[in-house]
Amino acid sequence: MAHLGGSARLARRGVLWGAVLGAALVGAADEGTEARRIVDSLGLGAGMVAADVGAGEGKFTAALARGVGPSGRVYATEVAQGKLDEVQARMTADGIDNVTTVLGDQQQTGLPAGCCDRILLRLVYHHFADPKAMRGSLWAALRPGGQIAVIDVPPKQGWPRVNGAPERGGHGIEPAELLAEMRGAGFEVVAHHEEWPAEDDSYCIVFRRPPPR
């Protein structure tokens, strides 16, 4: 292997760091694009109450919080207290004070009944060990006329299997299966975005709990 001189090594190092930085910037730009799409697709507005179910590290919780404004409220749910601590730390660092963390489990979100105008499930639905129970919990948390955005991917055989989740041919869920399950629980389809700026082949379907007839 040829040895690089000092200037050549520095140049190569600059290229490598440039590539890393470029990838990070692209990732940040993609997150920003998706965050805006989420806010727009849910029609978030000042004073609304929203929930980020399965919030993870809170990447998109902040977007919801800004979307509902200081007069609104966002619930961030997770099944592990450690994750909720991460979300709270992130909100504190970002100066966001309209987020409440909620501990749930595999059967329920932990959200108060009738609390939400909007709910976000980003790459979460296919993780549910008891989808029927969770659909019931989501229905109970959503006010009549409220909406849920479900962002997911078709089953990926190369991705790690989700322990405890139903077998669907891989890590994810087909749009047709999601539609059937949510409609079977009484939800109506508001919009179906076949392409979505998240993971490979991701999609977003917005559902609604019907208002009183």
pLDDT per residue as tens digits for the range 13-50: 333 333 332 333 333 445 689 999 999 999 999 999 99
Query: What per-residue confidence (pLDDT) applies to 30?
Result: 59
pTM, two decimal places: 0.84
Average per-residue pLDDT for the chain: 87
Helix (H) or strand (E) holding 76: strand 73-78
What's the mean pLDDT in 155-171?
Answer: 87
Residue type (1 letter), 106: Q
Q: Are 60 and 122 in contact (CB under 8 A)?
A: yes
At residue 75 the predicted structure's pLDDT band, cuts being 50, 70 and 90, is very high
Pairing of strands 142-152, 49-53: unpaired
At residue 1 the predicted structure's pLDDT band, cuts being 50, 70 and 90, is very low
Residue 4 corresponds to which tokens in the numbers above?
A: 């690089």
Q: In terms of Cα–Cα distance, which of 193, 189, 195 is closest to 209?
A: 189
Instruction: Judge whether residue 204 has pLDDT over 70.
Output: yes
The torsion angle over the Cα atoms of residues 183, 184, 186 and 188, rounded to 10 degrees, is 10
Pairing of strands 142-152, 203-208: antiparallel
Length of the chain as a residue count: 213
Query: What per-residue confidence (pLDDT) applies to 158?
Result: 85
Instruction: Judge whether residue 63 has pLDDT over 80.
Output: yes
pLDDT tens for each residue of 170-187: 899 999 999 999 999 999
Our CA angle for 27, 60, 182, nearest 5°, is: 115
Residue type (1 letter), 157: Q
Query: What per-residue confidence (pLDDT) applies to 2?
Result: 35
Our CA angle for 205, 57, 137, nearest 5°, is: 50
What's the mean pLDDT in 133-139?
Answer: 98
Q: In terms of Cα–Cα distance, which of 197, 194, 130 is closest to 162?
A: 130
Instruction: Judge whether residue 100 has pLDDT over 90.
Output: yes
